[in-house]
Amino acid sequence: MQIREKRRRSNLAVRFFIFIFAIAALLVGGLYAYLAFNNRAAQAVGPAGEGLNPAERTVLLAYLTARAADLTTAAGTDATPISFSVAAGSTADQVAEDLVTLHLIKDAQLLTSYLRYHGLDSQVEAGDFILRQTMTVPEVALALTDADAREVLVRVIEGWRLEQIAEALTTHRGLANASAEFARLAGPNTARAATYDFLAELPPGASLEGYLFPDTYLLRPDASAAEIIDKLLANFAARLPANYRADLSAEGLTLHQAITIASLIEREAVVDDERPLIASVILNRLAVGQRLEIDATTQYVLGAAGAWWPRLEGLDLRSIDNPYNTYAYAGLPPGPIANPSLDSIAAVAHPTASDYLYYRALCDGSGRHAFAVTYEEHLANACS
């Protein structure tokens, strides 16, 4: 009996040891799996931010790891820049919901979880941001929280003069400081390196008016005036048609003359298909030595802050003594009066063949013009 009792006790001890060993093995295995999971997950979503308690960190890590494919999938395929504003006092949850409404992200919870996990949810600041549907959740999070990654959307409108571009810069935080320097560097009598070949063709003392290409630009919020000007000039150089100078030779024009004419067309034309017709009138008048008498040139002379293109009713236009005033001076003005669109630039090299010497706006408010060969026809086209 004693021997049996000893054996029973021995078997119980062995079984207890095996049980304890199994429990230990499970704990070690579980710990290893936990650490391995955390390591793989951390690699997928990046390191966690400071301040998260272990439980929240684990839950967010598990969620983001399960959604790893969604993190790297953009909301759409349209790469058009979209201006997005965050109002003062907005929470990360509110911002995420607004982004879903604009189709910039698909899942608000995924973005807020990503922000929370990285400790970025409190770093979303009020301001203007440039986002695209093609951005992933991590890219959207970076754009909303990293000031160095932000871009500013600036639109340069066709037909604006350089002062209007300078004014547009003042509406953007950061770029406002570059406005005055932009006007100075782009203005007349400023020494500049001939970075682009067309700059070498400018007359002495000429401004960059006409060459600041109208377009939508993405700029760093702290971009300098020189950097902004370089972007506009580079775009002009890139967008100028390849054979443009060769096409101008058929009209007997230099590039500077062509851009000057294009700026006149830009300020006169309302309907795109009339640009080549207006080009023909200007070229026909120049060919016969007739004054251009274009209102926009006089507006350019008289323009000032608050009214860059003032109304001319009641003024004796011929009495305004300025070489840009085509009522008082024959031929082209000394240079462009605005920054023309590509359509106006192209119209100079490819004008409509016509004998027209006059045009005036139709009376129906359509923006279209009536064209005439003789002055008598021109008078007959007046509104009754």
**pLDDT tens across 12-61, in order?**
555 655 556 556 545 534 444 443 444 544 555 778 888 788 888 888 99
pLDDT at residue number 221: 80
d(CA 228, CA 315): 37
The percentage of residues in the chain with a pLDDT greater than 70, rounded to a whole number, is 88
318-353: pLDDT as tens digits: 999 999 999 999 999 999 999 999 999 999 999 999
Q: What residues have CB less than 8 Å from 383, skipping those under 6 apart? A: 363
CA–CA distances in Å: residue 203 to residues 86, 206, 237, 321, 348: 46, 6, 18, 21, 20
Region for residue 367 given its phi and psi (left: phi exceeds 0; alpha: psi -120 to 50; beta: otherwise): left
At 192, the pLDDT band (50, 70, 90 cuts) reads confident
Task: Please say if the pLDDT value at position 1 is more than 80.
Answer: no
Task: Say which residue, 2 or 92, is predicted with more confidence.
Answer: 92
Q: Which two tokens stand for residue 108?
A: 């608000």
For 267-296, what is the mean pLDDT? 96
Buried b (16+ CB within 10 A) or exposed e, 2-34: eeeeeeeeeeeeeeeeeeeeeeeeeeeeeeeee
> Where, residue-wise, is CATH 3.30.1490.480 in the chain?
69-150
56-114: pLDDT as tens digits: 888 899 999 999 899 989 999 998 888 888 888 899 999 999 999 999 999 999 999 99
Q: What residues have CB less than 8 Å from 125, skipping those under 6 apart? A: 86, 145, 147
d(CA 44, CA 118): 13
Burial of 320 (0-12, 13-18, 19+ CB in 10 A): middle
Q: What residues have CB less than 8 Å from 243, skipping those under 6 apart? A: none
Please name every residue paired with 82 in a beta bridge, in sequence order, or none if there are none.
131
209-238: pLDDT as tens digits: 999 999 999 888 889 999 999 999 999 999
Buried b (16+ CB within 10 A) or exposed e, 180-196: ebbbebbeeeeeeeeeb
124-171: pLDDT as tens digits: 888 778 899 999 999 999 888 876 667 788 999 999 999 999 999 998
Instruction: Specify the amino acid at residue 286.
Output: L
pLDDT at residue number 244: 94
d(CA 119, CA 192): 47
d(CA 209, CA 336): 6
69-150: CATH number: 3.30.1490.480
pLDDT at residue number 199: 92
Which single residue is written with the structure tokens 């760093």? 220
Q: What residues have CB less than 8 Å from 52, skipping those under 6 apart? A: 60, 116, 117, 119
pLDDT at residue number 28: 39
Nearest to 40 by CA among 72, 65, 73: 65
Instruction: Report CA dihedral (224, 228, 229, 231) to the nearest 10 degrees.
Output: 140
Is the full-model pTM beyond 0.95?
no
pLDDT at residue number 10: 58
Residues 122/103, Cβ–Cβ less than 8 Å? no
pLDDT at residue number 33: 43
At 260, the pLDDT band (50, 70, 90 cuts) reads very high
Residues 174/151, Cβ–Cβ less than 8 Å? no
Burial of 377 (0-12, 13-18, 19+ CB in 10 A): middle
pLDDT at residue number 147: 67
Q: Give the highest mean pLDDT range of 1-10, 147-156, 185-194, 266-275.
A: 266-275
Nearest to 104 by CA among 137, 150, 71: 137
End-to-end CA gap in the chain = 134
pLDDT at residue number 278: 97
Task: Please say if the pLDDT value at position 294 is more than 80.
Answer: yes
Residues 213/165, Cβ–Cβ less than 8 Å? no
| CA-based radius of gyration for the chain | 34
d(CA 112, CA 93): 6
pLDDT at residue number 22: 54
